[in-house]
């Protein structure tokens, strides 16, 4: 009887700690997020991007939709970047797609999330900064 109480107490404590501190991110998600942030830093130096891109502003409650919008907008950059940045952009696209697959638990259940085109358009530097900040927030 005492053993059962001890085991149940340990399980309860573990559940409470997970609820209080959040469960750690799986290693694959962490690697994808870090790779995305690193690749975005390289793309930041590209001064020839003059596009305005739809930039999501709903972060927490619509994470999956936000990722989807960023991915769609990143895809539009391919024709407007310098040749040396194309591989970097493709890595970003591939990693965003991978992150979306790993984040299937974030698919919006309701209709409260905006469609991409309902977001404000921002110039590339602001878009880049918002995407970088969003990815950093997912690491926490």
| Confidence at residue 114, expressed as pLDDT on a 0 to 100 scale | 83
Of 87-91, 107-111, 124-128, minimum mean pLDDT range: 107-111
State both tokens at 109: 């259940």
User: Domain 27-139 adopts which CATH fold?
Assistant: Growth Hormone; Chain: A; (1.20.1250)
DSSP assignment of 59-92 equals -STTHHHHHHHHHHHHHHGGGGS-GGGHHHHHHH
Say if CB 34 and CB 99 are below 8 A apart. no
Q: Which residue has the higher pLDDT, 59 or 20?
A: 59
Residue 124 CB contacts under 8 Å (≥ 6 apart), including other chains = 49, 50, 51, 52, 53, 77
> Percentage of the chain with pLDDT > 90?
34
Spatial separation of the C-alpha atoms in residues 9 and 12, rounded to whole Å: 5
Spatial separation of the C-alpha atoms in residues 53 and 69, rounded to whole Å: 10
**Per-domain residue ranges of the chain:** 27-139
């Amino acid at each position: 009887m005492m053993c059962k109480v001890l085991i149940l107490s340990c399980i309860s404590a573990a559940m409470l700690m997970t609820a209080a501190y959040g469960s750690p991110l799986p290693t694959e998600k962490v690697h994808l997020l870090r790779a995305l942030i690193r690749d975005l830093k390289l793309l930041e130096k590209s001064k020839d991007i003059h596009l305005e891109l739809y930039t999501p502003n709903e972060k927490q409650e619509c994470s999956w939709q936000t990722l989807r919008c960023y991915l769609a907008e990143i895809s539009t950059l391919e024709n407007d970047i310098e040749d040396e940045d194309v591989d970097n952009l493709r890595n970003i696209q591939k990693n965003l797609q991978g992150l979306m697959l790993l984040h299937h638990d974030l698919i919006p259940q309701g209709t409260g999330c905006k469609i991409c085109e309902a977001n404000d358009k921002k110039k590339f530097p602001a878009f880049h900064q918002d995407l970088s900040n969003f990815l950093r927030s997912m690491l926490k």
